[in-house]
Amino acid sequence: MSFVAAERQGAVEIITINRPEALNALNADVLGDLKAAFEAVDQQAVRCVIVTGAGSKSFVAGADIAAMSTMTQAEAEAFGKLGNDIFRMIETFPLPVIAAVNGFALGGGCELSMCCDFRICSENAMFGQPEVGLGITPGFGGTQRLARLVGPGMAKQLIYTARNIKAEEALRIGLVNAVYPAEELMPAALKIAAGIAKNAPIAVRHCKQAINEGLETGMDQAVVIEEKLFGKCFETHDQKEGMGAFLEKRKEKNFTNC
């Protein structure tokens, strides 16, 4: 897996796009390695995944323009499907995924960050969907996820103008949750991940599923999705442990992911 590095720190898996000579641009090999890295995550032991980019300059500067430049229509569609399938796998991954955006998140990079559960970034981060300036549309879900995250009006303005935005503006429009000095980004991501990891993993997973699936449907159906997942928690050891700890006034909880 030369283009993607994976490292475990306790219950947190850090997945790093590692092609710094091209500002971590995504070609088919990088996408394949990213898929393999997610497939290799130990879902019993790991409680949260962080996705970031190698180097101090770029998260991911987009899909690889050189690789795309000579594609036929059929090849472009296949490339779009490759990326979309992997990004959808990340979006529906049974563990929370945090994007720690450490620089450029342009085009496919912005799209990668948006298929994660939420984004935090460094002060030097820059977001944008510059595709129309290259004569193409966003192709890894950008038209869909940006509109859902920041609203259709803001998404349309950003996509039609191909304007890149800095971290503070990304914060203001709700694309990122927080901005940190570069050296504080990964410690902050790990702290958030640790805060997630101490909670009941099955409950966290069900929350992710309820939010994701509920947003895709009407409220009547959405609350039924929540009811079902809430009910499923009562089959778990961790529900008994969490509620038992409260009733016994016990601070320590032994969540076992079952």
Q: How far is CA 84 from CA 60, 140, 145, 161, 187, in A?
A: 16, 5, 12, 23, 30
Contact flag: residue 127 with ligand DAK (CB under 6 A): no
- Given the complex with ligand DAK, which of 53 and 80 has the nearer CB atom? 80
Determine the interface stretch with ligand DAK among 9-17, 85-93, 137-145, 151-159 (rule: CB under 6 A): 137-145
Smallest separation (angstroms) from ligand DAK to the CB of 34? 14
Determine the interface stretch with ligand DAK among 138-146, 190-198, 200-208, 216-224 (rule: CB under 6 A): 138-146
168 carries an active-site annotation? no
- Given the complex with ligand DAK, which of 75 and 227 has the nearer CB atom? 75
Q: Which of residues 46-105 bind ligand DAK (CB under 6 A)?
A: 61-66, 76, 79-80, 83, 104
Contact flag: residue 202 with ligand DAK (CB under 6 A): no
Smallest separation (angstroms) from ligand DAK to the CB of 28? 11
Q: Name the residue whose CB lies closest to ligand DAK.
A: 139
- Given the complex with ligand DAK, which of 53 and 139 has the nearer CB atom? 139
Total residues at the site for ligand DAK (CB under 6 A)?
A: 24
Amino acid at 104: F
Determine the interface stretch with ligand DAK among 21-29, 200-208, 225-233, 248-256 (rule: CB under 6 A): 21-29
User: Which pair of structure tokens corresponds to residue 249?
Assistant: 């006034």
- CA dist 87 and 168 (Å) reads 25
Residue 49 DSSP SS3? strand
216 carries an active-site annotation? no
- CA dist 212 and 226 (Å) reads 11
Contact flag: residue 136 with ligand DAK (CB under 6 A): yes
Smallest separation (angstroms) from ligand DAK to the CB of 139? 2
Please name every residue paired with 14 in a beta bridge, in sequence order, or none if there are none: 7, 50
- CA dist 180 and 189 (Å) reads 10
- Given the complex with ligand DAK, which of 40 and 78 has the nearer CB atom? 78
Q: Where are the alpha helices (DSSP H) in the chain?
A: 28-39, 65-68, 73-91, 108-115, 142-150, 152-161, 167-172, 182-197, 201-215, 219-233, 237-247
Given the residues 39, 131, 183, 226, select the one marked as catalytic.
131
For the chain, the straight-line distance linking the first and the last C-alpha, in angstroms and rounded, comes to 31
Among 174, 238, 167, which residue's Cα sits nearest to residue 202? 238
Residues in Cβ contact with 192 at an 8 Å cutoff, skipping those fewer than 6 apart: 98, 120
Instruction: Tell me which residues are annotated as active site.
Output: 111, 131
Q: Enumerate binding residues for ligand DAK (CB under 6 A).
A: 22-23, 25, 61-66, 76, 79-80, 83, 104, 106-108, 130-131, 134, 136, 138-140
